[in-house]
Structure 1
Amino acid sequence: MSGTASRRVRGGPAFMTADEAVARIQPGDTLAIGGSGGGLLEPDLLLEALGRRFRETAGPAGLQLVHTTGIGDRAGGGMDHLAQPGLARRIIAGNWGMAPRMSELADQGAFEAYNFPQGVLSQLFREIAAGRPGVVTHVGIGTFCDPRVEGGKLNHVTTEDIVQVVELGGQEWLFYPSFGLDVCFIRGTTADENGNISLEQEGARLEMLAIAQATRNRGGLVIAQVKQVARGGSLDPRLVVVPGICVDVVVVNPQQRQVVTHAYNPAFSGELKAALSSLEVFPLDQRKVVARRALAEIRDGDVVNLGVGIADGVAAVAAEEGWSDHFTLTIEQGLVGGVPARGVIFGVATNPDAILDQPSQFDFYDGGGIDIAFLGFAQIDRAGNVNVSKFGSRVIGTGGFVNISQNASTVVFCGTFTAGGLVATPGHGALVLSHEGRNRKFVAAVDQITFSAAEARRRGQRILYVTERAVFELGPRGLVLIEVAPGVDRETDVLKLLDWPVEVAADVRTMDQAIFDERALGASWRPGRTG
């Protein structure tokens, strides 16, 4: 804590306005913020109030902000309410891409900026709550989070090495240390008069309990935003996620939305099962081609992770083809089963089978629970390294990418071959390239190593790189071209657009023509690994 005395409210929670609640935050405080992108469990009223207070009073200044994943809507919400020079002195975040203005300030060096894996940060709150020294993990070794690479530092004003390399049991690990907490913002659906918080209308649980426990046990102030208040003791104890003993202040927002696109969708919270026929149809385009080819790598019974972006189309294609019951989809926010939502509200799922705490989901991931993961990419280099976190002046962040890509048995990186104006039209069993993208995604060296090919080889992972026109695999020395789309010239449309000579397999295959046809793939085109 910044101060010496506990700020906890005695005698039960205090109910107050958002402005009254944020007035309790002091200059220099460390503030932990729960929530995820697209408004999922986002304490939006509190973020707006804190941003407004700083604009009007220039205080509280010099805060240290910590959040596990991206919080915002890419349109000024979430963390962008706090994107004001002077408000923060340091930000530690799992993802930055949902708040573009805050991302710009990080790149400009307006404050110290760190990016650590989403799973590590979610688990770290549990370690803080328990009074343990921090998280010791293999996650991040060989990536930009490793202090021998960049140590998760994002700009020139960020100089302190927080992450440390340690040796235990004859093996190298990364140590992410615990820190103090002065205040936290969490969110739920209902608070009773005793401060017990339930999440019955939320699409995830994230680490609301861990953040509240960590802040409470460090003597900090726990501020909870909810949609409604119930009589004390009236909540079903099976639905209470954060007990009242961990809550100091409750702020009510009757207009609270489940996510930015929905006031409330009961199929996200598990209240009902929606008909999958109600889901939006995925039109045949270059993105769907990638999703279809990626889907072919799934085997019956696989536990699958989907990343945000082009990779999330795999779920849509599986639902269209009636294949969703062949495997179990999961996403890092704690969802197991169902069909993950696409776009800005990635983080919820239609018809989930289970909604877990996010730290527990990452325990499962880090221990090797994922059979196959589908993730996006911004850059791929000759060694097979992948960058999704920082390129040029864009600070996006890793999210759960490092945890997932480092621990899944098979990883399929999904993306278009180039970006920025690419026109690649599938139809009638072939692909027509009309206009090449301005931006090369296959480069000699990535700007930042979010996925380490050397670590993948050491761990024995199977790695594929799927695009609309070609498929590569990770070989002993780097990328190996193994498939080319029908209608595409291998030399002109693939090899000549690479910045280095790539290895070509002796038996380069033609991608299945069915992927490029308007018709459904059909029952004869079953999931099952092609390699």
Structure 2
Amino acid sequence: MSKIMSATDAIALIPDGCTLGVTGTGPALEPDLLLATLEQRFLTEGRPGALSLFLPMLPGDRKGEGGLNSFAHKGMMRQVMGASFSRARHPAFLDIMETGEVEGYITGMGTMIQILTATGSGKPGVVTKVGLGTFIDPRHGGGAMNAASVSPPVRLIEIEGEEMLFYPAQKIDVALIRGTTADENGYVSFEEETNTLGAVEMALACKASGGTVIVQVKRVARAGSLDPRTVRIPGPLIDAIVVHPAQTQLSPMMADPAHGWNPFLAGALKRPLDDIRPLPLSAEKALLRRAALELREGDVINLGAGVATRLPIVALEEGILDRVTFTNEHGIFGGLMATAVGGSFVPAFNADAIMDSVFQFNFYDGGGLDVTFLGIGQVDGSGNLNVSRFGAEVNGPGGFINITSKTRRIVFCGTLTSGGLRSRIDEGRLRIEQEGRFGKFVPRVEEVTFNAAEARARGQEVLYITDRAVFRLGETGPELIEIAPGIDLDRDIRSRVGFELAVSPRLSVMAEALFREPLLGLASSLPKGDRA
């Protein structure tokens, strides 16, 4: 019996009240035709309703359309468990969550992938220290998104005297996933995709649950004709194949017109990088240059969302891109993140490896990283960080909590203020022309995504690098250790920090070279790291 069917017939396999797993993040691996067909069926038939969504990532990046907005209808959802959300992309979805009509729970992306692995391998669940002391700890809300969310899917337990978090395995009744090519027996390859994003873990968890796996692909090939080395999901895991010939790799702007997809992002070819322009001299570039001073020869590095995603451009300009290994939570090892040309943070040009999500987070949780560079949302007087909730903007942590739990050196990067901030560099000195309306260093963070006390107990080194100053995590909180040339301590820093500012007795001025055009000379001065 053929597994190939129309999107309409495949979506008809989804029953009311089931747990539905969906893969993809942003434009990468979004099963867009399946989501659009699912939404249309609900709007015309009122089915399937009362769905429980399991969302390890954030499918869809069309502002206000598709992706999670496909579920933004009264009665369509009963419960949501996810790691990342975005009001800019999915406003209707978050509006529904805000009403309290739907239960919602947030946890770390890595933990959600590991829950799928536990389900797929018949284990009772995931036991982890990741998230202790943060907002996903059941003592601090258990990741509840609203007042209706009173049954968090996490428990605090103790093993041999140590506190742990336990997440039970999660049954998946139906999985919506995506690949590039399926053969007639359901074997799926990902040759045009930029990442794999936990698709095989989702399929395995669903089949272990006795569920139905539906895959969207660009084309179907004859049975047995796929190179077995390129197959990422075996045929016995697939129940339905939906062909979508117009499926795009990412967005049209990232496609190579000659191929209809970009082989440099899928790992099929290596892209020349000599046309990547250096960043113009600005406060942002000076910040990134200061961050680059934390690099060591041979470092394995994670980059989180925000300004830090452009650090590889500085590394390329300085001639050290190949002497360190940049990674992201979506499986990338090496190469240059596509943000270098204004693209998505998810893929990379010239990646050395594109790993499955379960490997990437096991690697992170196992302490495989030397250093991570992450964005700054809010910092408080204890050094805690919030990147997951800002009033009505519920972002979730993505992979942030997994990443910060085991990485030896943590560097948070961002401006001291935001909202209309304007600055310029003049003769090696930074000038604030218009201050931002919102301070990021606040008396109390809205939500603890990074617990500074836990980091101190783990012996982690933590820096907060801003446009005008550098702080380190001291015994009681952030301590100012460097100030940019041209910046006044009281006017530009102390008055913009929402807590009593601790200043190091060895306060120094940031190197003026950071604020001038010539290269820093990192190619000849990069310090040796543990792996060098």
Task: Tell me if both proteins adopt one fold, taking TM over 0.5 as the criterion.
Answer: yes
Contact 1:127/1:133 (CA < 8 Å) preserved in 2? yes
1:126 aligns with 2:114: no
Q: Look up the equivalent residue of 2:107 and give its one-letter code.
A: F
Deviation of 1:524 after TM superposition, in Å, equals: 6.8
Deviations 1:62-91 (A, max 9, x none): 100111112221512321222223211111
CA distance in 1, matches of 2:486, 2:126: 50
State how 1:93-492 maps to structure 2 within 5 Å: 93-97=82-86, 98-260=89-251, 261-263=253-255, 264-342=261-339, 345-492=344-491
Provide runs of 4+ in structure 1 moved above 6 Å.
none
Q: Look up the equivalent residue of 1:78 and give its one-letter code.
A: G
Contact 2:319/2:523 (CA < 8 Å) preserved in 1? no
Tell me the TM-score normalised to structure 1 length. Answer: 0.95
Deviation of 1:36 after TM superposition, in Å, equals: 1.1
Q: 1:74 to 1:403 in 2, by over 3 A?
A: farther
Deviation of 1:523 after TM superposition, in Å, equals: 4.6
Identify the range of structure 1 (389-398 vs 165-174) with the bigger mean alpha-carbon deviation: 165-174
Q: Look up the equivalent residue of 1:467 and give its one-letter code.
A: T
Q: 1:234 to 1:366 in 2, by over 3 A?
A: same
CA distance in 1, matches of 2:395, 2:484: 30
Secondary structure in structure 2 of the residue aligned to 1:443: coil
Deviation of 1:280 after TM superposition, in Å, equals: 4.9
Contact 1:297/1:528 (CA < 8 Å) preserved in 2? no
Deviations 1:185-207 (A, max 9, x none): 11111000111000011111121
Two-structure CA RMSD over aligned residues (Å): 1.6
Identify the range of structure 1 (97-106 vs 112-121) with the bigger mean alpha-carbon deviation: 97-106
Q: 1:78 to 1:278 in 2, by over 3 A?
A: farther
Contact 2:8/2:37 (CA < 8 Å) preserved in 1? yes
Contact 1:134/1:177 (CA < 8 Å) preserved in 2? yes
Look up the match of 1:90: 79
Q: Look up the equivalent residue of 2:305 and give its one-letter code.
A: V
Secondary structure in structure 2 of the residue aligned to 1:276: coil
Contact 1:104/1:394 (CA < 8 Å) preserved in 2? no
Deviation of 1:447 after TM superposition, in Å, equals: 0.2
Secondary structure in structure 1 of the residue aligned to 2:151: coil
Tell me the TM-score normalised to structure 2 length. Answer: 0.94
Deviation of 1:528 after TM superposition, in Å, equals: 4.0
CA distance in 2, matches of 1:44, 1:79: 10
Q: Look up the equivalent residue of 1:434 and give its one-letter code.
A: E
CA distance in 1, matches of 2:361, 2:154: 19
Unaligned ranges ≥5, structure 1: 1-10
Look up the match of 1:6: none
CA distance in 1, matches of 2:215, 2:97: 27
Contact 1:482/1:509 (CA < 8 Å) preserved in 2? yes
Deviations 1:215-263 (A, max 9, x none): 1111111000001111100000001100110000001111111112423
CA distance in 1, matches of 2:367, 2:395: 26
Deviations 1:2-54 (A, max 9, x none): xxxxxxxxx5x5211222211221111110001112x1111111111112222
Question: Identity over aligned residues, as a percent?
Answer: 44
CA distance in 1, matches of 2:263, 2:215: 22
Contact 2:180/2:219 (CA < 8 Å) preserved in 1? yes
Q: 1:74 to 1:422 in 2, by over 3 A?
A: farther
CA distance in 2, matches of 1:272, 1:192: 24
Secondary structure in structure 1 of the residue aligned to 2:432: strand
Identify the range of structure 1 (71-80 vs 317-326) with the bigger mean alpha-carbon deviation: 71-80
Secondary structure in structure 2 of the residue aligned to 1:345: coil
Deviation of 1:104 after TM superposition, in Å, equals: 3.1
Contact 1:427/1:518 (CA < 8 Å) preserved in 2? no
Look up the match of 1:22: 11
CA distance in 1, matches of 2:483, 2:452: 22
Unaligned ranges ≥5, structure 2: 256-260
